[in-house]
Structures are given as C-alpha cells and as structure tokens.
Structure 1
Amino acid sequence: MTYLIIDDEHIAHKIIMEYCEMLPHMQLQKNCYSALEALEYLNSHQVDLIFLDLNMPKLKGFDFLKTLSFPPKVIVTTAYSEFAIDGYELNIIDYLLKPFGFERFLKAVNKVVDSNTIPKKSISEVSETSTKRIFLRQNKSYIQIELDAILYTEASGNYTKIISKAETITIREKISDILESLPKNDFIQVHKSFAIAIKHIKKIDGNRIYIQDHTIPIGKLYKANLIKILN
C-alpha cells in the first residue's frame, strides 16, 4: 500500500515512517511538508493512503482535501481533537490524536487494509481485488492474517484466540477490541466468549453453530442478532 505523509513537522514524518517500516505492506512515496507540495505531487502521481496533518501554513488539511476530486484514503494525524467531526464528514478513515502509539496507529492502518475501496491505478495494473488482511500482535511480533481465513474468535481470560483455517493465534487483547478490527458485515458475536465469521457457518442446530469441525455455543443475549442475519 503506497502512502504519502503531509505534515509540516519533521518529527511527525519520522514517527510515521518508523511505524510504517514495521509493516511489510507499506511503501512510502513522498514526504510533503505542506499541502501545496502534496497537491503538486498528486497532480502526476497516485497513492493509496495519505497521513494528513491539519494545522499547516497557507493551506489547511481539510481545505486541501476539499480540492481533491478523487482523494485517496486518509488518516488524519493532528493535535486538535475539535476537528474530528469535520473530518468524518469528509470520509476520512481514522483520526489519530498526537501523540499516538504504535498500537493505535496499527488499528487505523488495519481499517484501511480492510477497506475494499482503495483506489486502483488502472484495470490493467490490478487484475483482481486485493486480499483483505489485518495485523495481529502476538507477544513482541506482528502476524498478518487473511480475513477470509478466520473461522471464529474465542475469549480466553485476558487473551483472545483467533482460529483460522490453518492455525490458532493467541493474542493478549480483549475480544471486544478484536471485533473492532473486523468487518461488521462479516463477523458477528454469538456468545460473550465467541464471535464467528458468518460465511463459514456450516449449520445451526438449536443453540449450537457448526463451523468445519468446530462447535460454537449461542448465548441467550446474542441469539436475536443471529436470527436477524438468518432472516
């Protein structure tokens, strides 16, 4: 995923670049220190994602966005929380409030990776839709996993198990936080300890869901949500 950094502070560029270097799918195209510099670059180049500061000289971040006919995905990076509502009206992916840590940064990037509307350069350059993936933290490392491969997630104390077609990944994160990273149309919580991939349901029998060789219980509080999907 190609990206552009637009920020008038050098330290902001350094932090974002260091974070992106930890993610193998991120490719920096250019460092821009003003919105005008970015406009000139985008006149002849395309990128998938922009990390955009708001408070810049001459041309502010949101004013810059309004000049773009077909803007790339945008993650705002700013110290000003009061502009968040304006940002979502411009369809930004996420709003990172400085200073932000790597985990919060990763959550924002995962939202972009999950999106299926990243601008494509041309039909001839991209022959098929990119596989959707997310990064999961396991101890001190990060594991990339295809969303289509995930069968279900299971809460286990302070940890969550991600059960996929090929493996089980255990991470130190709440199941509710994991669900925030997963597409809401593809996954549903069916029990306080379980969330499943709807597409992998093989059978529902009483208060049990069968996915491949796995059996998942249905909680009373979550049964209504499941019925809505079935209808």
Structure 2
Amino acid sequence: MTTNYIIIDDEYIAHDIIKKYCDMLPNMNLVKNCYDAIEALEFLNTSTTVDLIFLDLNMPKLKGFQFLRTLQKPPKVIVTTAYKEHALEGYELDIVDYLLKPFSFERLLKAVNKAFYQETNTISSSQQEDEIQRMFIRSNKKHIQVTLNDILYFEASKNYIKVVLKDETITIREKITSLANILPQNSFLQVHRSFIVAVKHIQSIEGNQIFISDNSIPIGKLYREKIVELLNN
C-alpha cells in the first residue's frame, strides 16, 4: 500500500534529506513540498489523501504546533526539528515520533515503522507485561508481599516511602534511590526525585504532570528526557 506524505519545512535542505531517506523505502510517495504551514493548509484543503506529515516546528507565519492544532482530523505526524524542549507538547498532540535534527536514516525508518507497521506486536508485548511478579516490602516490623502489578507509584518523604497500591497505601522506611535500583526498569520509571511510577498504570501525560488513577504526579526537570524516551518507544 502506498503512503502519501508531505514535508512542511522552511529549509530546502531538510526537504532534500527527508525525500532522500523516504526514497530508500518502498511505497513512500511524496505528494507536496510545503515551505510554510499556510501553504500546507491550502494543500490539505484541496488535496487527495495524505497519510503522513513530516513537520518542522520553527517556521514563519505559523508555527508547527499551531498549524497542527488547526487540523480537525490530522494524518499521522512525525516532527522534525532542532528543538528538543517541545517534545512533550508534541506527544500531547498525538504525534507519532519526534526526530531531532540532524537525524539518520535508521532513526527516520524507526519513526515510519512506528506510524504504520508495529501494531502486530501489541498483543505479545502486553502478555509479557501482565506476567505476575511479587516482592516483599518491610513495614511496621513485618514483611508484606505485594504484587508489582498492583503498585501505582512510590512517593518519597525524607527517609520514608509511600507505596501506593490499587486498594491501599503502605509506608516503608527506605530511600528512593535504593528502591529504584531493585525495581524492574521496564515496568517502573523515576519521573521526579520523589516519585517512581508504574508505567502500565499511566493514564495520561499533560504538561509537567502524570495522571494515574485520581492522582497527579509531577515530572521533574531532570527527568523530562526519560518521559520523552518512554513516549518515543
């Protein structure tokens, strides 16, 4: 199946690089080079189907995300930019991937695969994540066995940590740095100096906040790149 794509970027060299990489892939069809977002809007209003947009952010007339917000039913979008600080905002707008210039052919290939060709792996990955694992935690002079799948997040306060589970909260005497070293890294992510969250229980990410159940958890400045990596996988 042919994938029709457009490039929106005010730099001619960016168009050349993206087209060169896409020409190395089967069934990628460039239908329009747009050098600002206004030109892209006019084309999208009159064109045939566009499946994918390669979108720069820092453009004259209308910025990339401002343009994206004007689209009622946007096609899949891969951001291509030199500015990494806008990554979280991009994922809030449901972009497929965020490529930092200069990027390699392999990095663009990964983004295109994410857009169209990786859905078949979803079931097997979910089954692996649902395997039941347990750990013992010490609280009030006794050891309590908890299922990792029931843990929503950990919150540190001085030398104590609150273990927030689906149905209860347990307080343990531990340092969060020590806890981070023993938790499965593919299941838990430290997002703040005082918080570790269970990745599978994240409901949404908005700005500098992670939402799990009825709880809002801050994202620390030093941990923002970890969130970007999580959204980029």
Normalising by structure 2, we get a TM-score of 0.51
User: Residue 29 of structure 1 aligns to a residue in which SS?
Assistant: strand
Q: Which runs of 5+ in 2 are unaligned?
A: 129-183, 188-233
User: Residue 110 of structure 1 aligns to a residue in which SS?
Assistant: helix
Q: CA deviation at 1:188?
A: 6.3
Aligned position for 1:109: 112
Write the distance in 1 (CA, Å) between the matches of 2:29 and 2:5.
6
Pick aligned residue for 2:8 from 2, 6, 9: 6
CA offsets, 1:91-110, max 9 Å, x none? 00000000000111100000
Q: CA deviation at 1:115?
A: 6.3
Residue pairs, 1:159-198, within 5 angstroms: 183-187=121-125
Write the distance in 2 (CA, Å) between the matches of 1:99 and 1:30.
22
Q: CA deviation at 1:73?
A: 0.2
Write the distance in 2 (CA, Å) between the matches of 1:53 and 1:23.
21
Aligned position for 1:42: 44
Write the distance in 1 (CA, Å) between the matches of 2:82 and 2:8.
14
Aligned position for 1:212: none
Which residue type is aligned with residue 25 of structure 2? Answer: L
Write the distance in 2 (CA, Å) between the matches of 1:75 and 1:104.
11
Which residue type is aligned with residue 71 of structure 1? Answer: P
Aligned position for 2:21: 19
User: Residue 43 of structure 1 aligns to a residue in which SS?
Assistant: helix
Write the distance in 1 (CA, Å) between the matches of 2:57 and 2:40.
13
1:80 aligns with 2:18: no
Percent identical residues: 65
Pick aligned residue for 1:31 from 24, 33, 36: 33
CA offsets, 1:78-120, max 9 Å, x none? 000000000000000000000000111100000111267xxxx
Aligned position for 1:129: none
User: Residue 3 of structure 1 aligns to a residue in which SS?
Assistant: strand
Which residue type is aligned with residue 34 of structure 2? Answer: C
Which one has a larger percent helix, Structure 1 or Structure 2? 2
Q: CA deviation at 1:25?
A: 1.5
Q: Which runs of 5+ in 1 are unaligned?
A: 117-146, 148-182, 191-221, 226-231
Aligned position for 1:57: 60
Write the distance in 1 (CA, Å) between the matches of 2:125 and 2:84.
30
Write the distance in 2 (CA, Å) between the matches of 1:115 and 1:34.
31
Normalising by structure 1, we get a TM-score of 0.52
Write the distance in 1 (CA, Å) between the matches of 2:66 and 2:26.
32
Which residue type is aligned with residue 51 of structure 2? Answer: D
Distance 1:56-1:98 versus aligned 2 partners, 3 A rule: same
CA offsets, 1:182-201, max 9 Å, x none? x33344686xxxxxxxxxxx
Larger Rg: 2
Write the distance in 2 (CA, Å) between the matches of 1:187 and 1:32.
38
User: Residue 184 of structure 1 aligns to a residue in which SS?
Assistant: helix
